[in-house]
Amino acid sequence: MRASLDQPVSYNMPIGEHKLAVNPLLGSVIRLHYQGAIHCIHCSRKTSKSFSQGYCYPCFKRLARCDLCIMSPERCHYDQGTCREPGWGETHCMKSHYVYLANSSGVKVGITRARNIPARWIDQGAVQALPVFKVDTRYQSGLVEVMFKQHVADKTNWRVMLRGQIEMLDLVSIRDQLFDKCADQITELQQQFGIQSIQPLMDADTVNIDYPVLEYPTKVTSLNFDKTPEIDCRAAAFRVHSQFYAGPERCCTTLGNGSAVGYGRGSRANYAGGTACGRLQSRRQRTLHRQSTTRLHG
């Protein structure tokens, strides 16, 4: 799904040449049907399982976007001449990135490119976000993130996020505390790469994000699409590009970013026993699959 930073966030679902406004579906019963087919989101090859958020195994092994340095940018090896796709790396990794603080289940640190703001924050279900650094490359953003990870989390507690149990925070104050704690390391990075390459954003404002919600779940469990290929549910909330929450009628599932409504082997939807929420949890890692009754292009 695609989202706009309105109050609340406005979601729409591209279906062919048309866009379906999703917010008006709150309170409606939605039926999801998994057709049992998984296709690589890069080459469209049919595969028995997907890797690294929706790729077939050959693409997973070949593409730079599936390399370990995507999840851990501080492990970038472009300068060693071993990047899988140097051209892709130049257009995606050798660009300005932002390091930010977000409040999705408590404060966390993350990185993103400018063009993904605020979509990245919405994708994580954050209720608050604050850019704290602008850097020249993805590698540099990874180094700053690792520095901050010594003091704050870098992951979301999705159960807390899905239940809406999030306390509002003073992110500016937390940023200033982190700057004080990491002052020596920040200076070292600026000496290594140049002051203009590692720029603190002292004047940035906190962005507050509100989501279309009728009710939040109180308990989260899981369903497996292999065992339950068709699900009826009442949409009680929409939150995050790749998730929606279902209400008391029955259950819930996840709408994958750039993917189909159905999911592949080992994928599960979290069910909140009476009030449900959608989040995809694969046995290996979250996967996104393309073929289903409806196609989404995130």
Residue 181, token pair as written in the block: 């704690």
| Domain carrying residue 8 | 2-53+212-271
Task: Please check the confidence at residue 295 and state whether its pLDDT lies above 60.
Answer: no
Q: Say which residues have a Cβ less than 8 Å from residue 246's Cβ, sequence separation at least 6.
A: 30, 233, 234, 235, 236, 252, 253, 275, 276, 277, 278
Buried-exposed string 169-187: b where 16+ CB fall within 10 A, e elsewhere? bebeebbeebeeebeeebe
With respect to residue 81, please indicate whether it lies within any of the assigned structural domains. no
Q: What is the pTM of this model?
A: 0.79
Total domains in the fold of the chain:
2
Return the percentage of the chain with pLDDT > 70, whole number: 79
Closest CA to 141 of 100, 181, 183: 100
Neighbour order of strands in the sheet with 10-15: 2-4, 10-15, 18-21
Question: Could you tell me if 167 and 222 lie in one domain?
Answer: no
178-190: pLDDT as tens digits: 999 999 999 999 9
Last residue of a domain, one of 208, 231, 263: 208
248-262: pLDDT as tens digits: 333 333 333 322 332
Question: Could you tell me if 22 and 49 lie in one domain?
Answer: yes
With respect to residue 78, please indicate whether it lies within any of the assigned structural domains. no
Q: How many other β-carbons are positioned within 10 Å of the β-carbon of residue 11?
A: 24
Question: Could you tell me if 107 and 203 lie in one domain?
Answer: yes
